[in-house]
Amino acid sequence: MKEYKVGYVAGVFDLFHLGHLNLMRNAKTKCDYLIAGVLEDDLVIHFKGKAPFIPHEERMDIVGACRYVDKVVPVDFSNIAKMDAWKKNPYDCFFSGNDYEGNPVWEYERKQLNEVGSDIYFFPYTQSTSSTQIKRALKGHDGYDDADKRNLVIDFCKDLDKLYIYGAGKYGQEMAKFLYENAIRFDGYMVSDITKLNQPVKDHPVFDVDAVRPDERTGIIMAMKEEFQNEVRPQLKEKGFDKLFNVLQLK
């Protein structure tokens, strides 16, 4: 008898590769019935700042064809949170790679799931292959040319009264350069704790996040590594910042 009756995995599953297969195969060894949630294109753009290579319906078909998957479901804003996914399709365990293990947001969600008798189980992350690595191997960069990047940023920035770059380090400086080269004005950098700023920033002012008043016409470009974005995003949402754009990995 397996450890769980119903398991759940969720992801973009773009450019399906060995890492995706390992996650599903490992999950199936732990549960009798495996549900796979596939993020819709709009949700991917919201979180990553760019669309997946493979459209949502095709990614649904690919994941659904995997022999380890018993049911495939779409993931949108209504069920991206683990508890919301559980309410739509109750499961006994959420399976993931261990690159998120120890993340405080995930630990909070684990407590929520534990209250309804569910849990989170982490498998070793497959280091050898990722969708990002495949994209870079195919095109030598993140898969978007300068025009694509510029259009995505312009689309996000239009109709904003205030624009900030969250993060004043390497990624923040790269984003600032990109904005300058494309004639996009921003009002300054934002950091979680200005007292911990390692180096002074000369080109724009730096604000502590609590010093900025959020409203519907204030936008933030999150310029940091993805693991930090996953941690910071819900904190910004709690403070009332709704317009958030994930950093483009500029080269």
Residue spans of the domains in the chain: they are 4-134, 144-246
pLDDT digits (tens, 9 = 90+) for 147-189: 666 777 878 888 889 999 998 888 888 888 888 887 888 999 9
List, for residues 123-139, the tens digit of each pLDDT value.
986 654 555 555 554 55
- pTM higher than 0.85: no
pLDDT tens track for 187-232:
999 888 777 776 667 778 999 888 898 888 899 998 887 667 777 8
Percent of the chain at pLDDT > 90 equals: 41
Q: In what order do the strands lie in the sheet with 93-97?
A: 71-75, 31-39, 4-11, 93-97, 119-123
Which two structure tokens, joined as six digits, stand for 247?
């950093």
Rg, the chain, Cα only: 19
Residues in the chain: 251
Place of tokens 């773009």: 14
Note the pLDDT of residue 249: 44
Residue in the block written with tokens 């200005």: 194
Please choose, from the candidates 30, 47, 37, the residue with its C-alpha nearest in 3D space to the C-alpha of residue 10: 37
Domains 4-134 and 144-246 fall in the same CATH topology: yes
CA separation for the pair 189, 172 (Å, rounded):
8
* Three-state secondary structure readout of 31-81: EEEEEEEEECHHHHHHHHCCCCCCCHHHHHHHHHCCCCCCEEEEECCCCCC
Residue 248: pLDDT band with limits 50, 70, 90: low
Read off the pLDDT of residues 8-65 as tens digits, 9 standing for 90 and up. 999 999 888 888 999 999 999 999 999 999 999 988 888 777 788 889 999 999 999 9
Asked if 11 and 38 touch (Cβ cutoff 8 Å), the reply is yes
Q: Has domain 144-246 been given CATH number 3.40.50.20?
A: yes
pLDDT of residue 115: 97
We find that the CATH architecture of domain 4-134 is 3-Layer(aba) Sandwich (3.40)
